[in-house]
Amino acid sequence: MKIAVTGANGHIGCNLCRQLIERGHQVRALVHRNDQGIKGLPMDFVRGDLMDPASLSHLVEEVEVVFHLAAVISIKSRQKDEIFEQNVGGTKRIIEASQKARIRRFIHFSSIHALVSEPLDQTLDERRPLATQDMIIYSWTKALAEEVVQESVKARLNAVILNPTAVIGPHDYAPSLMGRALIQMYLRKLPALVKGGYDWVDVRDVVEAAVKAIEKGKAGERYILSGHWQSIQDISRLVSASSHRKPQRVSVPVWLAQAVLPFLKLYCRLIGTEPLYSRDSLTILRAGHKNISHEKAAGDLGFRPRPIKETIRDALDWYKESGLINR
């Protein structure tokens, strides 16, 4: 089967391309500038981006399935226009190209952040409304992008929407924000842990569900791909167990972490790195929903998230093998 992938060099994309190739599919990836993580794989590359309709038309030419993963994953409000144009405008353009090419199935990667998280004391499932009024720019644009997909379904686009939670695991070449956090936990370079948590899911389980969605996903349906809620302290303990070191003890409440953010940003600027914590990311950790259901995905896609302990162990092993963690 001929399959096109946007966002192929992202964390999920790197794993998805490998899985599709292993299953014998012909994969064509949209690449802008960076092909880190997929360079050298036996697949076709189309140079372009979501702003370039010509490259999108070339990407989907004679393919049967399109996986749309490309998005700006950022919660910086100063990038509002860029994020909107990529996440919402880009989704419109790839859908238009896919409709013209008469593809058989369109699989859109959204996010759990596209859904309203409150109330926190009730199960979060696919019936939650979209977070179209969210103050966090990433959540807002992913919600609007879902609306674009849903409107296209009414125009006979055979689309499935996937909403993973916080993704961790191997083949994280950038690495991702959570990947950097795991590395810093392992190296004991985090100044303090924050008292909060989130739902974490293995990237390999997400990819397996995505591949199954080609045939088993129901058109127009949304599927939440959640894993296990763990506090930052829980994650730190699992990382410490893998490194055979004592777990980090110092943890601070979210309000205190938010209070020192200006000093943290200044420090990171001086040493030339990106801070792991921001006001919005701390808000997300504080309000991380503890009961996110993947029952629908389990029933339709056979989704079964593996134990978080296994995910942490395999992620750290991969970071070591790739040189992101010095042994």
Q: Which of 20, 71, 62, 65 is nearest to 41 (CA)?
A: 20
- Please report whether residue 234 resides in a domain: no
What is the predicted pLDDT for the residue at 265? Answer: 53
State how far the Cα of 31 lies from the Cα of 45, in Å rounded to an integer.
6
- The whole-number pLDDT of residue 284 equals 57
Contact by Cβ (8 Å): 56, 94: yes
User: What domain range is 154 assigned to?
Assistant: 2-172+200-227+290-306
Domain contains 85:
yes
| Burial label, 71 (beta-carbon count in 10 A; 0-12, 13-18, 19+) | buried
What are the tokens at 8?
């192929």
Residue 240 lies in a domain: no
pLDDT number for residue 280: 57
The answer as to whether 259 is a domain residue is no
Q: What is the pLDDT of residue 255?
A: 43
Residues whose CB is less than 8 angstroms from the CB of residue 35 and which lie 6 or more positions away in sequence, other chains included = 9, 45
Are 4 and 66 in contact, with CB atoms under 8 Å apart? yes
In DSSP terms, which residues pair with 109 in a beta bridge?
Answer: 162
Question: What is the pTM (predicted TM-score) of this model?
Answer: 0.91
Please give the torsion angle defined by the CA atoms of residues 77, 79, 84 and 87, in that order, rounded to the nearest 10 degrees. -100
Whole-angstrom Cα distance, residue 48 to residue 51?
Answer: 8
- Please check whether residue 318 lies inside any domain of the structure: no
Instruction: Report the number of distinct structural domains present in the chain.
Output: 1
pLDDT in 10s for each residue of the chain, 327 residues: 999 999 999 999 999 999 999 999 999 999 987 788 999 999 999 999 999 999 999 999 999 999 999 998 765 555 788 889 999 999 999 999 999 999 999 999 999 999 999 998 999 999 999 999 988 888 999 999 999 999 999 999 999 999 999 999 999 998 988 888 888 888 887 767 777 788 999 999 999 999 999 999 999 999 999 999 998 889 889 998 877 777 666 565 544 445 544 544 544 554 455 555 555 555 555 567 889 999 999 999 999 999 999 999 999 999 999 999 885
Q: How distant, in Å, are the alpha carbons of 24, 211, 230, 299 from that of 290?
A: 38, 27, 8, 21
Answer for the pair 224, 112: CB distance below 8 angstroms, yes or no. Answer: yes
pLDDT score at 281: 58
CB 133 within 8 A of CB 117: no
Letter for the amino acid at 268?
C
CATH of the domain at 30: 3.40.50.720
DSSP, collapsed to helix, strand or coil, labels residue 180 as: helix
Give start and end residues of each alpha helix (H) in the chain: 11-22, 53-60, 80-84, 90-101, 137-154, 177-186, 203-216, 232-243, 254-259, 261-271, 279-286, 295-301, 308-322
Does some domain include residue 235? no
